Amino acid sequence: MALDRWLTLIDPASFLIIFSALFIIYYGSYRSFIFHNENFQIFKDNNQVPSILYILFPIVGSIMLISLFYFLNIMYYLLIFIISFSSLVSLTYVLNSPFQTIFKKFSIPDYSKKIKLSDDEDFTVTTSMGVAFIATLCLCIGWFFSNHYLFVNILSIGTSIAALSFIRLNNLKALTIFLWCFLLYDVFWVFISKYIFGTSVMESVAVQVMDKFYLPMLITFPKFFGKGGGSSLGNGDYVLPGIFICQLYFLDKYYHFSERESASPFSLKNLGYFKISLLSYTVGLIFSLVMVIATERGQPALLYLVPMITIPTIVVAYKRDQLALIMKPVPKPKQENDSMESLIISNINDDDGDDHDGNIMSMNIMNSSSGSNSNSNNNNSILINSISKNNNNDHDDDLFT
């Protein structure tokens, strides 16, 4: 029996979960960089969100969780509608870019039509966008009528990539606070809430939702070894850390840390912050799986993921004398016609006037590509071992969130 549990570590389902999470964060960061590069003028005048507001996110999440705990039967169909609509919009956005590429590659005419939204704004609809919408609609219908995990996975991946693409919190210091607040949120609702409410609120809501219907709030794969069941990862466990990692992708591009990495591809010393955080995230995800197997009980995955991605980033930046630099928001263009490509960074100093690194004192013009946009939901789940998908508790599901 103990051997069956530890086989989960080498089960293909666990590898698929880890690969899916890394793909979402990697591709989502790339799409985010392209979207905000192309739409830089939209965001350049926006003020920074005060750090104190990041603390409110877990509070809002707690209110929603409590509402689901007490009124799940009432809110369930509203929840399905909101998630279905966001999945339809998000996956259409994500698929639009690949379909545009296919249309160009095979020389298929991609007709466009402008729809006027207001006197100053219009929206362009293209043939490729229509095809992406129809494909997404078919996937949503397939999910609704079959409740098959593959449809759930595709919609969850699309929703999460869209979230990372569109959501941009340009302040690593505030993002660090944001993640640690969600760590406390996870720990409270998994462990401490049972002493107040008589049961773990997070586990209770997760089990009730999964018993009713698989919502695109997680990715899940059936186990190949053992007595059945599956391994699952909640959207919150790659979207929330992904927002932090996405900012590191921007910093690597803006300050050309990734170019130093390319010059010495096999040197860990020059590894960019984005890849450092991806490696740390992978270690944290594996460790969370080990803990859920070892303890045979639910574990808040952010308890392991947040320290693993924030602490190494801070330590490495401190060692490189770049901590003050990366904690600052990425500067915005000063001129009306400036764009991300035209930003030339030179003579970068920290707050005390010290040089951060000879290699980043003079920067070249930033290069970029093209892409698109969207919206999503940051669902924070929990790491649960032995969640039953039915009332008979016949199977073991490892739900990491």
Q: Which two tokens stand for residue 183?
A: 């760590």
Strands 112-116, 230-234: pairing is unpaired
Rounded to the nearest angstrom, the gap between the alpha carbon of residue 37 and the centroid of all alpha carbons in its chain is 19
Using alpha carbons only, what angle is made at residue 168 by residues 14 and 124, rounded to the nearest 5 degrees? Answer: 100
Using alpha carbons only, what angle is made at residue 30 by residues 26 and 34, rounded to the nearest 5 degrees? Answer: 170
pLDDT of residue 331: 72
Using alpha carbons only, what angle is made at residue 104 by residues 103 and 105, rounded to the nearest 5 degrees? Answer: 95
pLDDT of residue 285: 94
3-class SS of residue 30: helix
Q: What is the spatial distance between Cα 386 and Cα 373, in angstroms, rounded to a whole number? A: 37
Longest dimension (CA), the chain: 68
CA distances from 221 to 17, 158, 325, 358, 359 (A): 7, 17, 41, 47, 44
pLDDT of residue 52: 66
Q: Which stretches of the chain drop beneath a pLDDT of 70?
A: 1-4, 40-53, 226-228, 261-267, 298, 332-401
Contact status, residue 84 vs residue 144, Cβ threshold 8 Å: yes
CA distance from start to end of the chain = 25
Helices 149-166 and 236-254, interaxial angle, to 10°? 40
pLDDT of residue 9: 81
3-class SS of residue 86: helix
pLDDT of residue 15: 93
pLDDT of residue 51: 60
Q: What is the spatial distance between Cα 376 and Cα 149, in angstroms, rounded to a whole number? A: 20
pLDDT of residue 55: 76
Q: Which residues of 65-84 are buried (b: 16+ CB within 10 A; e: fewer)?
A: beebbeeeeeebeebeeebb
Nearest to 300 by CA among 358, 350, 234, 371: 234
Using alpha carbons only, what angle is made at residue 59 by residues 56 and 61, rounded to the nearest 5 degrees? Answer: 110
Output DSSP code: residue 190. I
